[in-house]
Amino acid sequence: MAATKLQANWAAVSHGSTSITRVTNVSFSQGGSLSSFSADGDHYPTVIVSLQNKPSATVTSSDTAALMGLAPGTVASFSATHKDAKGATGGDVVYVMANAVVENVDTSGSHGQFGTATLSLLGYSSDGVTNPLSFTRA
């Protein structure tokens, strides 16, 4: 069966050796930021460039203990697989963020509802040039 080019659900989510289950949401941001330049008589930018990007990721899980066990400042590789909607071979998207630093973990739970926790991660480059966020098809 051909890949659908549609993703549904997450699998194999982990930060280092910590497997994260009961995942209800994962998001990745390339962290793009643009700087514009104008001078002299310019009324509009004459140059717009991406001088710095700050990739990030967040995970929401109902396994609150697993996420709350990750201390801010902890560094590890973060990975998550966004599954092909029909489970087709070659349709999964596997994301990896090298040098993923735990920024924070928030948790909450309302009366009579399942609790959740949200893990926030920021990625840094080992050499200042290589993007810590990558993805492949599997």
Per run of 10 residues, the mean pLDDT along the chain (length 138 residues) is 92 98 98 97 97 97 98 98 96 98 98 97 97 96
pLDDT value at residue 12: 98
Could you tell me if 83 and 126 are in contact, meaning their C-beta atoms sit under 8 angstroms apart?
no
Q: How far apart are CA 96 and CA 79, in angstroms?
A: 4
Token pair of 43, please?
Answer: 């009324």
- The secondary element (H helix, E strand) that includes residue 66 is helix 64-68
Q: Which CATH number fits domain 10-35+46-137: 3.40.50.1980, 3.30.1330.20, 3.30.420.40, 2.30.110.20?
A: 2.30.110.20
pLDDT value at residue 2: 83
Sequence spans of domains, the chain: 10-35+46-137
Could you tell me if 134 and 94 are in contact, meaning their C-beta atoms sit under 8 angstroms apart?
no
Q: What angle do CA 106, 107, 110 make, to 5 degrees?
A: 145
Could you tell me if 67 and 76 are in contact, meaning their C-beta atoms sit under 8 angstroms apart?
no
